[in-house]
Every structure is written in C-alpha cells, then in structure tokens.
Amino acid sequence: MGNEQLFMGIELGSTRIKAVLINEYHNVIASSSHTWENKLEDGYWTYRLEDVWAGLQDCVRQLIEDCELRIANCRAIGISAMMHGYLVFDSAGEQLAPFRTWRNTSTERASEILSEKLGFHIPQRWSAAHLYQAVLDGEAHVKDIAFMTTLAGYVHWKLTSEKTLGIGDASGMFPIDSTCNTYHAQMLAQFDGLAGLGYSLGDILPKILAAGEPAGVLTQEGARLLDPTGRLRAGIPLCPPEGDAGTGMAATNSVTERTGNVSAGTSIFAMVVLEHALSAAHREIDMVTTPSGKPVAMVHCNSCTSDIDAWIGLFQQVSALLGKQASIDELYDALYAAALDGDPDCGGVLSYNFYAGEPLAGIDAGVPLLCRKPDAKLSPGNLMRSLVLSAVASLRLGMDILAREGVRLERVTGHGGFFKSKGTGQRLLAAALDTPVTVMASAGEGGAWGIALLAAYMAQKNQGETLEEYLEQNVFAGSAGVRMTPEERDRLGFARYMARYRAGLDAVKAAAKALA
C-alpha cells in the first residue's frame, strides 16, 4: 500500500458533483457524489459559490471516509466542470457578478455580432458572448474585471492560486488557434477593437495548458477548502482543469482524428475530432478542442430523451389503471425492445421531441409533436421506434453539415442514459449516423473518471508520450466494448424516416408559432 499511486478526479455537473479515486491501473477504487441544482435568480441561471464548496467538501469527505488510510497516496488531482458561462473577478479576487451558467440564453445579440465580426461561430453560452453582452448592456462591473474564467478554472485557481485552464475548456471561452494552442490572436485583436474594454481580453483570460502539463500544486488554503478536517495534504500536483466535453472525450477514448463520441441523455451532442479545420464557419457547429488541442467539431442538440421519458411515464399510468404494477425499468426494457420490432421507417409514424427550441432544426420554441397520416401503422413498436429515432434525428442534421465538409468518421463511442437499455439506442444511432457505434462499460464512470485519467496521464506518462498514446496503450487496451455496425434494414428505414422528418419541420414551426 505504501507504493500505491492514487489519482483523484472531481467533476461539477449540472445536477451532480461527482468524485472518484482511481489507482495506477485506472480502476475506480472509491466514488462519491453530491446533488445540487442551479437556481434562476434575477433572470440568470446560476449557482452560488458557497454551494460549490459545500458540494466539493461533501464529495471529498465521502472519499476520505472510504479510503482514509490510503488518501496519503494521492499523487495528482484533476478538476472538471460544465463548460462555458461567466465568472468574473476584480483585482482583489472579489466576484463581480453572479455566476452565469451555460444554460442562459440572454446573449443572442452578442453571439450574432461576434459571429459576424470574427467570422467564427460564437455560441450564446460561450464566455466571450457573456462578456460582450455585458458590454452591450452597459453593466458597470465590466470596467473592473481582472480575471474571467470557467467553473473548473475558478475551483482550480482557489486550490492552487494558478489562473490556468486546460485547452479544451478554454476553447469554450474564446476561439483557439490549434496550430499553436493559444487563443486566436487576430480574433482577440478584433474583439478588443469591437468591445472597447479599456484592457485586452487576452489579459483577463486564463493561461492555456495542454493535457500532461503541470498546472500547480494544492496549497495549504486549497487543501482546507477541499477538506476542512486537514486529512488531505498540501503539495499534491494538479493537472490542467478541463470542461465536461474534454473529460467525456478522455473517458471514451475519442481523442484521435476520425473518432467521436455521442453523449445522449436529456440533451444530445456529438464531438468529432477533425483532421483539418472546416472550410467555413457554421452557426450549427461549435468548434472546440480535445484536451491536447486537436480541433473538434461539436454538434449540440437541446432535446433527446425527454419525450421518450414522458411517453413511458404515460404507459406506466395506463398500466396502473389496469391494476398492473410495472416498474419504470421494466417498461423501458420492454418498450425499447419493441422499437426494434417496429417497421424500419416506423410505418409512417413521425415524432418531434422538441422540449426546447432547437436551432439545428430552425425551431424557436419547445413543442413536442406526434404526427401520422391516416394510413400510418400505429403500433407500440412503431411509436417507440419513432420516439427513439426522433431523439437522434436533429443530431443527424448537424452531422450532415460535417459530411458535406468532407469529415470522415471511423468510430463513434456512445455514452449516457440513451444507451441504458441494451442494444436499442446503440443500434439505431449506428443507423442514423451510418457509422459503427461502440458502447464501453467504462464510459459509464463519466467525466470524474475522465479528469482522473488526465491527472494520471500527467503524473505517469513517459517522456514524449502523447495523450492519445497513453489512453490507447494504458487505459483502453483490450477494452473494445460492444461494437455495432449499421444494419442495412435500419439504415434504409432511417433514411425514409429522415426524409419525412425534414419535410415535416415546417409543420412544427407553424405549431410552435401558433401555440406561443
């Protein structure tokens, strides 16, 4: 036990903070979690910073109680969190405005102006859009900003005193030049000229670090912030803090060119590692990077499984009316299995799962719809298959843009609740993307495991060993997972379904407008 190497990973997600301890073989030996929720305050979705530390302390306390005699063997720590958002501080380190999370959609004007002027799509949730919107709105605090960062960058700063950020997380603040792994110099100058801040944006952004680079050590003050009891020692090295997209890439071994991962739950998004930059900016595509700086195209959709969940909840109520006591798990398994027995094109049944506006589809407001012509074959299998295909159809709209750009995919790894019922989501996603899809058991460990892997990489890598080599040879060797290739029946059926889906989008737009 004295020579044991342990690595701690912590990720602050939107509803749960999770922490893990892994050993030198990358196996999880302890895990913990803390539930929290964002709040709508003064028109902004936010988390209070005292809640950040309460959650972190709770998670670390649970880990130490499980492994108190072993915690002294912790050799490195990694911090990850949901990307984007707006956290700003003055020169004394005082917070200037409440934390505005990625969920806020109050920056449309800033996003449009910046995207046009920079020639690069700046989504509403990016930190640069939040800052420029504050400029447009004349917010008084802007003149006093000395540091702007993400949630992961904030926690890392308080633990180490280092104002740094992993390149993947930084790529959700401001565009990155992947040829030199820095913020894009020309775009920084354009932003400064546009915003007229009185200081340079580059001076308030965190320093960029790539995976494997040292990012500081846990200070005495930082150790007490994580563990007020004093059992966690100071001096432990930290790896660069990363965003949840980057840790998802690490956790699914999706960090090399022509690979990607699809995270599918309440929302769905695909991260595709590119061989080269796209030829043009696309408002539907976000450009970010892997933790080592490779360019990544992100296709993000606001809705995925919510409509499926609602229908399965309805079926549970129907079973209760009949005096049955079917559990949610039983219903999910049975109805997902039924989807595979449905007609390949759902027999003419068509679903739209828009619980929120969906820019990829040109939908401004949430309006879930179930549509069919009189001769459609309405059956449990066709209904469920339509709901499952609807969950991935909007993603296909974005993937088609990448296909037209010549982007090629050889492997996609799926993770998230959409894949919980064995086989169905994986098989139909493979058909929708016309690409083999792999689901690995380890992907379920999530982003906390992904950032723990990045901490282990920093501490254990051989000289010159890349992140891609380390993950392939030391973490995922022999862990191929379950791979499904597209079946011709499914592929052709999805193509017919997708043609009707595209044709019906005008009806959804009209419904959204009429019901508004």
pLDDT along the chain (516 residues), means of 10: 85 93 94 93 93 98 90 95 96 97 89 96 95 98 98 98 98 94 97 97 98 98 96 97 94 93 88 91 92 94 92 94 89 95 97 89 90 96 98 96 93 87 92 92 74 98 96 86 93 98 96 89
The answer to whether domain 6-253+441-475 has CATH 3.30.420.40 is: yes
Backbone angles phi, psi at 240, to 5 degrees: -60, 135
3 state SS of 452: helix
What pLDDT is attached to residue 227?
Answer: 96
- Provide the 3-class DSSP secondary structure of residue 299: strand
Q: What is the pLDDT of residue 15?
A: 86
First to last CA, the chain: 63
| Residue 178 burial (CB count, 10 A) | 20
Tokens describing residue 453? 């892997």
447 Cβ contact list (under 8 Å, min separation 6): 9, 11, 13, 18, 80, 244, 247, 248, 251
pTM for the model stands at: 0.87
Whole-angstrom Cα distance, residue 103 to residue 38? 10
pLDDT of residue 276: 86
CA 22 → CA 184, 349, 446, 447, distances in Å? 36, 47, 13, 13
CB 80 within 8 A of CB 152: yes
Q: 306-439+486-515, what's its fold?
A: Nucleotidyltransferase; domain 5 (3.30.420)
Domain with CATH 3.30.420.40 in the chain: 6-253+441-475, 306-439+486-515
Tokens of 495: 């193509």
Q: What is the pLDDT of residue 480?
A: 65
Alpha-carbon span 15 to 356, nearest angstrom: 18
Q: Which of these, 238, 266, 262, lies nearest to 249 by C-alpha position?
A: 262
Query: What is the biggest distance separating any 2 CA atoms in the chain, rounded to whole angstroms?
Result: 72
Residues 400, 402, 404, 409, CA torsion sign: negative
Per DSSP, helices labelled H in 416-480 are 424-433, 446-460, 467-470
